[in-house]
Amino acid sequence: MPAVKETRTDTIAPKERSAPVVKKEQPQPIGIRVISLEQFTRLVQEKRTLILDAREPEEYSKGRVPGAINIPYLSVDQYFEKLAGYPRDTLVAIYCNNIMCPLGRGLAEFMVELEFKHLLLFEEGWDRWEREEMPIEH
């Protein structure tokens, strides 16, 4: 008598898995890292980091982070040669007014295009620096 092939109908189908929930954050271009007030303060105190203020000259002249150089993002083309003079592996920290201010991120992204490798963005910016009564240069 030929063998009868048994077909099982009680097998369990694999569970469908839903995709993991991923927190959406603003994408960070390669080479740009957002830093905290504490990290930014340490860099300012150590004086080994190039600190760039992306705000307009009028704002910069009213007060700035000690040692900061003004490279206003809205006229960054005028500062191309100055930026090009720095080694591409220089540690650079950039700030503008606050997290809503696009100037700091814009300058950082411009510097990525110039192939700077170590860019830090203090997104809370000048507003937080001033609110925390940190040292100010005029």
Within-domain flag for 12: no
* Residue 13, in any domain of the structure: no
- Contact between 94 and 122 under an 8 Å Cβ cutoff? The reply is yes
Query: What's the number of domains the chain is made of?
Result: 1
Phi first, then psi: give them for residue 118, nearest 5 degrees.
Answer: -125, 85
**What CA–CA distance (Å, rounded) separates 29 from 56?**
24
**Alpha-carbon span 51 to 89, nearest angstrom:** 14
d(CA 73, CA 76): 5
This prediction has a pTM of 0.79
For residue 65, the model assigns a pLDDT of 99
pLDDT at 2: 52
Report the CATH number that the domain containing residue 71 is assigned in CATH. 3.40.250.10
What six digits make up the tokens of 6? 């048994």
Residue 54 counted as domain residue: yes
Reading the chain (138 residues) residue by residue, the pLDDT tens digits are 555 554 444 444 444 444 444 444 555 556 899 999 999 999 999 999 999 999 999 999 999 999 999 999 999 999 999 999 999 999 999 999 999 999 999 999 999 999 999 999 999 999 999 999 999 999
Among residues 80, 106, 110, which one has the least CA distance to residue 95? 106
The kind and range of the H/E element at 36 are: none
| Residue 137 domain flag | no
80 is in which domain, residue-wise? 32-131
In a domain, 107, yes or no: yes
In a domain, 71, yes or no: yes
